[in-house]
């Protein structure tokens, strides 16, 4: 059923913005707004009608601890904390045991199950998956070039970049540079071989535009995956 | 926002710089707006801890969506306050048992709603027009709308607070909003 009566649409948008639309009805309406640009504009309009009333409210200072925790959530904390996300035990456990089946399938295809690999076969390959195990990115290394292919693109962002890291068995992740949110890219970091030495996994972190300002990952891990090396490598 | 607070243009500029990843601008935006927005949330959720959660979530959302903010659509203070109000209201469990609520019946009709024609024009409201138009409403209508807006009261809470039958309160709100819309469109604060 479509709601086409403009007065009904107005009434619902108004009670949503006013706040009298509650509970399941509120959530249903919020979902409807996402699927209906006209309704979304109506909500914006009611926000413009009513929200200026909020200017009348006498300010109350929030506690001082709030700002640092907002910064931390945005990955803006001034001191990078490798003991945080990147030292997170569950992350490593997931990396160790949650080996994506897609990686195995890809390995079989890439390296072949029969005979020696052709000369131009990649020396290493990885499928990067989200913490929910959804594959997002494939990475191959061949002759000093890192080929990155985003298989499930992220929506474009004007404010943030994705940065690729190689995670060694011990020590801090090493940056391989900023990677695109969609499509493909070829990265040629200086001394790639040394960077990849001892690497057991790739991971992509969310960073401010231009990449991590600290040289260490600062934002959330978007996807990661173990590195598989061909026998030649 | 209010007197002594930064002008809308300043806030818009800070938002724009934040959208380009400039953290200092975002910190300034926080300093300029957080006390007002904290108060807005506190009145609705009525618990400091919940209001702190709302504020954190809201500023994370403001940072992440700063690039989507458009001056042409809303004033920056309105845009941010709407984010805070929405999160505050979403958190409220009060009044969620109003199964007989007419709004819920109407909202139920939206479930299978497809995309509708984009016929509505978006227009920026005059900053003070809403207060002037509120002044034109019947006192009962004005009071009900203000209580709902500032304190996040549900229809049944309003009825209890105002000692009026539920149906009367709903009528006040519905007619008050309709008159408000009519007034704002008539005064040219927003166009139809």
Which residue from B145, B13, B71, B73 is spatially nearest to A48, judged by alpha carbons? Answer: B73
Does A152 reside within a domain?
Answer: yes
Q: Which residues in chain A are contacts of B52 at CB distance < 8 A?
A: 62-63, 66
Give the global pTM.
Answer: 0.57
In a mutagenesis test of the A interface, which of B4, B17, B21 is the best target, namely the one with the most A β-carbons within 10 Å? B21
Q: Are residue A99 and residue A148 in the same domain, yes or no? A: yes
Count other Cβ atoms within 10 Å, centred on residue A81: 12
Does A21 reside within a domain?
Answer: yes
pLDDT of residue B30: 96
Does A124 reside within a domain?
Answer: yes
Which residue from B56, B70, B54 is spatially nearest to B19, judged by alpha carbons? Answer: B70
Percent of chain A with pLDDT over 70: 78
Does A126 reside within a domain?
Answer: yes
C-alpha distances (whole Å) from A155 to each of A158, A161, A182, B84 are 10, 11, 8, 24
Give all strands (DSSP E) within chain A, no chain letters.
124-129, 135-142, 145-150, 160-168, 174-179, 183-187, 199-208, 221-226, 228-229
User: Residue A74 and residue B57: Cα distance in Å, rounded?
Assistant: 10
User: Residue B141 and residue B164: Cα distance in Å, rounded?
Assistant: 12
DSSP B88: H
Q: Which residues in chain B are contacts of A160 at CB distance < 8 A?
A: 21, 64
Q: Which residues in chain A are contacts of B155 at CB distance < 8 A?
A: 20
Q: What is the domain extent for residue A47?
A: 6-56
pLDDT band at A210 (very low <50, low <70, confident <90, very high): confident
What's B125-192's CATH class? mainly alpha
Pick the CATH number of B1-94 from 1.10.10.60, 1.10.1740.10, 3.40.50.1100, 3.40.50.970: 1.10.1740.10
Does A146 reside within a domain?
Answer: yes
Does A62 reside within a domain?
Answer: no
What are the boundaries of each domain within chain B?
Answer: 1-94, 125-192
Q: Are residue A121 and residue A11 in the same domain, yes or no? A: no
- Cβ neighbours of residue B153 closer than 8 Å, sequence gap 6 or more: A19, A20, B95, B147, B161
In chain B, helix, strand, coil percent, each to 5? Answer: 65, 0, 35
DSSP assignment of B93-124 equals -TTTT-TT-HHHHHHHTTTT--PPP--PPP-P
Contact (CB<8Å) A26/B36: no
Contact (CB<8Å) A159/B108: no
Count other Cβ atoms within 10 Å, centred on residue A73: 16
Q: Which residues in chain B are contacts of A66 at CB distance < 8 A?
A: 34, 52, 55-56
Q: Please compute Rg for chain A using Cα positions.
A: 24
Q: At what angle do helices B23-45 and A66-73 cross, to 10 degrees?
A: 120
pLDDT of residue B185: 85
Q: Are residue A109 and residue A190 in the same domain, yes or no? A: yes
> Residue A79 pLDDT more than 60?
no
Number of domains in chain A: 2
As separate numbers, helices (DSSP H) first and strands (DSSP E) second, chain A gives 7, 9
Does A74 reside within a domain?
Answer: no
Per the listing, tokens 């020590």 go with: A171
Minimal CA separation from B126 to chain A, in Å: 8
Q: At what angle do helices A37-50 and A23-35 cross, to 10 degrees?
A: 120
Contact (CB<8Å) A74/B60: yes
Sign for the pseudo-dihedral over CA of B62, B67, B71, B72: negative
The answer to whether the beta carbons of residues A76 and B23 sit under 8 Å apart is yes
Minimal CA separation from A32 to chain B, in Å: 6
For residue B138, report the phi and psi dihedrals to the nearest 5 degrees: -60, 145
Q: Are residue A28 and residue A96 in the same domain, yes or no? A: no
**Residue stretches of chain B with pLDDT short of 70:** 1-6, 72, 93-128, 188-192
Does A117 reside within a domain?
Answer: yes
User: Residue A16 and residue A27: Cα distance in Å, rounded?
Assistant: 10
* ipTM, interface predicted TM-score of the complex: 0.79
Give pLDDT tens digits for A118-133: 556 778 888 888 877 7
pLDDT of residue A118: 56
**CATH number, domain with residue A142:** 2.60.40
Residue A223's Cβ-count burial label (10 Å; 0-12, 13-18, 19+) is: buried
Beta bridge partners of A183: A150
Give pLDDT tens digits for B34-76: 999 999 999 999 889 999 999 999 999 999 999 888 776 788 9
Give pLDDT tens digits for A139-151: 999 888 999 999 8
Give pLDDT tens digits for B160-171: 988 999 999 999
Token pair, residue B1, equals 């926002």
């Amino acid at each position: 059923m479509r709601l086409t009566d403009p007065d009904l649409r107005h009434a619902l948008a108004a009670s949503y913005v006013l706040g009298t639309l509650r509970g399941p009805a509120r959530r249903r309406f919020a979902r409807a707004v996402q699927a209906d640009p006209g309704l979304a504009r109506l909500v914006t309009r009611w926000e413009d009608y009513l929200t200026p009333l909020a200017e009348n409210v006498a300010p109350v200072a929030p506690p001082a601890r709030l700002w640092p925790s907002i910064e931390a959530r945005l990955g803006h904390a001034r001191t990078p904390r490798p003991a945080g996300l990147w030292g997170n035990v569950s992350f490593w456990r997931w990396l160790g045991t949650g080996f994506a089946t897609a990686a195995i399938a890809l390995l079989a295809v890439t390296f072949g199950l029969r005979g020696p690999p052709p000369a131009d076969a990649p020396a290493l390959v990885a499928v990067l998956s989200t913490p929910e195990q959804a594959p997002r990115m494939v990475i191959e290394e061949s002759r000093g070039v890192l080929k990155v292919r985003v298989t499930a693109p992220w929506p474009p962002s004007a404010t943030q970049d994705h940065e690729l890291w190689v995670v060694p068995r011990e020590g801090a992740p090493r940056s391989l540079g900023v990677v695109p949110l969609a499509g493909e890219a070829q990265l040629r970091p200086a001394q790639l071989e040394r960077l990849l030495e001892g690497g057991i996994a790739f991971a992509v972190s969310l960073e401010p535009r231009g990449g991590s300002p600290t040289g260490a990952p600062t934002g959330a891990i978007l996807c990661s995956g173990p590195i598989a090396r061909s026998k030649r490598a | 926002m209010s007197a002594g607070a930064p002008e809308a243009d300043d806030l818009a500029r800070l938002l724009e710089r934040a959208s380009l990843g400039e953290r200092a601008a975002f910190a300034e935006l926080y300093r300029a707006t957080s006390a007002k927005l904290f108060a807005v949330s506190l009145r609705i959720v009525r618990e400091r801890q919940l209001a702190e959660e709302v504020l954190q979530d809201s500023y994370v959302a403001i940072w992440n969506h700063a690039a989507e903010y458009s001056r042409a659509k809303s004033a920056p203070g309105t845009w941010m306050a709407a984010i805070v109000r929405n999160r505050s209201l979403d958190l409220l469990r009060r009044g969620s048992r109003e199964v007989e609520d007419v709004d819920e019946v109407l909202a139920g009709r939206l479930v299978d709603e497809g995309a509708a024609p984009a016929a509505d024009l978006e227009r920026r409201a005059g900053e003070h027009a809403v207060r002037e138009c509120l002044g034109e409403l019947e006192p009962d209508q004005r009071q009900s709308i203000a209580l709902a807006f500032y304190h996040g009261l549900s229809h049944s809470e309003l009825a209890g607070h105002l000692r009026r039958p539920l149906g009367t309160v709903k009528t006040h709100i519905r007619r008050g909003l309709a008159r408000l819309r009519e007034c704002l469109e008539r005064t040219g604060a927003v166009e139809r």
